[in-house]
Amino acid sequence: MSGSAKPPKGKKPKKEKSTHPFRDNIEVIVFAIAMSLGLKVFALEAYQIPTGSMQPTLMGTDLIEGGKPVGGVHDRVLVDKICYMIREPERWEVIVFRYPLAATNNYVKRLVGLPNEDLWVQNGDIWARPGGTADEFTIQAKPDNVQDEIWKQVYPTPTLKGSDWVNWRLIKVPQPSESDGGQVKMKAGSVVSYPSATRGVTNEYRHGYHENIVAKIPMAQSGLGTNTPVSDLRFEMEVSADDASGALILEAEFGPYPIKLTIHPGTASELEMPDGSIRAIDFEASTGDNISVDLAFWDHHYRLRLNDQEWADDLKLESIPAGRNGLIVRSEGNWNISPVKIYRDIHYLPSISGTVGLYEIPEDHFFMMGDNTQNSLDSRDWTARTYRFDPPWNGHSFMRGDNLPNGHDPLYNNPRQNAARDITTFRDEWGDLHQIPREELLRANADGSAEEMSAHFVPRRYIQGKALAVFLPVPPFAPVWRIGWVH
């Protein structure tokens, strides 16, 4: 009878040794490499952030102190390359894509404009309407999970110790002491107001950076659009009533949009909206209990949080520039207030050139902007240079590339000329360099210059993936921890 022999009971069969151990090891190594390459190409990939266009959301900067470099912070970001294979990109996501005018370079920006819509950047906000229509523009509001991650802290000032009440005006209020945690003790008729003598919070360049690095952030192009009062703010504080003798009133001036919160001890509270309407708030303050107050306004949307309760709504408002902003706290009784934390939103600036106000986004294209709107080369101002040759020169009848005659890095200025100015080096959109004699440029364009044309949009096929998380750097390799999800 034929068959395989069985080993005696209690003994395991011996594992046969491979007759090709070297080949087996090679196969394992090749498989591991193939898997890692497959993950990189199709699933996940890590990118290093080289520039500061998305700061402080994503950091890519050298640090300067006393005019000398003292290190830097360059985030490593994990990018999901699968999600956009099964769904379309969504507004406000942070996206990695090929730069349309230099497709060999990857950029990272926030998606603010979608296909087939008209986009308008106005008074720090993003507005949109269906493309090709005369419909009214509607403001585009960031969802809570995104907004909560991109608030920039303004007060207390990270670089100024003891700044809890700096630039505040205190009327009929004893000077707060450190022993009370900087708490203000108010009585009937007491007033605490911000600012004391300025227009309030402006879109200062260094808002939102960690205290360990804020003073070392280079101020490149920081003058663009600065000192502009903003509307989108958030006020946080802890309050408590010593007794039921009177209400606490918070008058928040979100630029031209005032919102007043009245907290009544023992009875329901109320909100007065910018149009003067009153909204009842089902919240009663109990004497002696701490109340966490979080009042925020962004993208014509308000949100109030009192302890674990929340009220929020979109408001129908016109786009009006902010002349000033601030907060006035009035007391009709005995109240205690902790130092107020103030945050501001990203204040989106229009085109740096100031020539473009409306962007008509075509089908299958997207509009991208950096969170560091004062120092971000993005969809607002991308410009192409083109050359046309008839008959063709060196096999080319048309060339298109980035228009960067005065970029930060001379190696990437485009085009560049030699010392004799008889040869122009031009980098096209595919990354190829062309050395074009002056006589050929004169043949292509009468004055030897290139035709400039707008190139504001990113084609769908150029989108690489969605930024998921920052996983580096960490101390001691950087002065701050940079680990967390990207929103």
Alpha-carbon torsion, ordered 166, 172, 173, 174, to 10 deg: 110
Structural domain count of the chain: 3
What tokens were used for 284? 């009663």
Q: What is the pLDDT of residues 187-246, one digit of tens each?
A: 999 999 999 877 899 999 999 999 999 999 998 766 667 789 999 999 999 999 998 889
Domain span including residue 114: 60-144+350-377+461-485
Assess if residue 177 is contained within a domain: yes
Q: Is 180 left (phi over 0), alpha (psi -120 to 50) or beta?
A: alpha
- CATH of residue 467's domain is 2.10.109.10
Indicate whether 187 and 272 sit together in one domain: yes
Assess if residue 28 is contained within a domain: no
User: Which strand (E) or helix (H) includes residue 122?
Assistant: strand 117-122
The span from the CA of 119 to the CA of 137, in Å, is 8
Residue 52 pLDDT greater than 60, yes or no: yes
Indicate whether 177 and 254 sit together in one domain: yes
Instruction: Please report the pLDDT score of residue 10 as a whole number.
Output: 52
Strands 365-369 and 458-459: antiparallel
Indicate whether 179 and 308 sit together in one domain: yes
- Note whether 316 and 250 are within 8 A (CB): no
Strands 257-263 and 358-361: unpaired
Torsions phi, psi of 41, nearest 5? Answer: -75, -40
Indicate whether 253 and 291 sit together in one domain: yes
The mean pLDDT value for 33-45 works out to: 55
Q: What is the pLDDT of residues 92-133, one digit of tens each?
A: 999 999 999 999 999 999 999 999 999 999 999 999 999 999
- Note whether 349 and 225 are within 8 A (CB): yes
Residue percentage of the chain with pLDDT more than 90:
67
Assess if residue 304 is contained within a domain: yes
Instruction: Please report the pLDDT score of residue 36 as a whole number.
Output: 46
Assess if residue 3 is contained within a domain: no
Assess if residue 183 is contained within a domain: yes
Of 1-10, 75-84, 297-306, least confident by mean pLDDT is 1-10
The mean pLDDT value for 35-42 works out to: 48
Torsions phi, psi of 467, nearest 5? Answer: -65, 125
Among residues 197, 210, 320, 204, the alpha carbon closest in space to that of 258 is found at 320
Burial 292-307 (b: 16+ CB within 10 A, else e): ebebbbbbbbbbbebe
Of 13-27, 257-271, 429-443, least confident by mean pLDDT is 13-27
Q: How confident is the model at residue 159 (pLDDT cuts 50, 70, 90)?
A: confident
| Structural domain ending residue among the three candidates 344, 359, 391 | 344
Assess if residue 20 is contained within a domain: no
Indicate whether 364 and 425 sit together in one domain: no
Indicate whether 74 and 206 sit together in one domain: no
Residue 43 gets which letter from DSSP? Answer: I
Instruction: Please report the pLDDT score of residue 3 as a whole number.
Output: 45
Indicate whether 211 and 311 sit together in one domain: yes
Residue 6 pLDDT greater than 80, yes or no: no
- CATH of residue 304's domain is 2.60.120.560
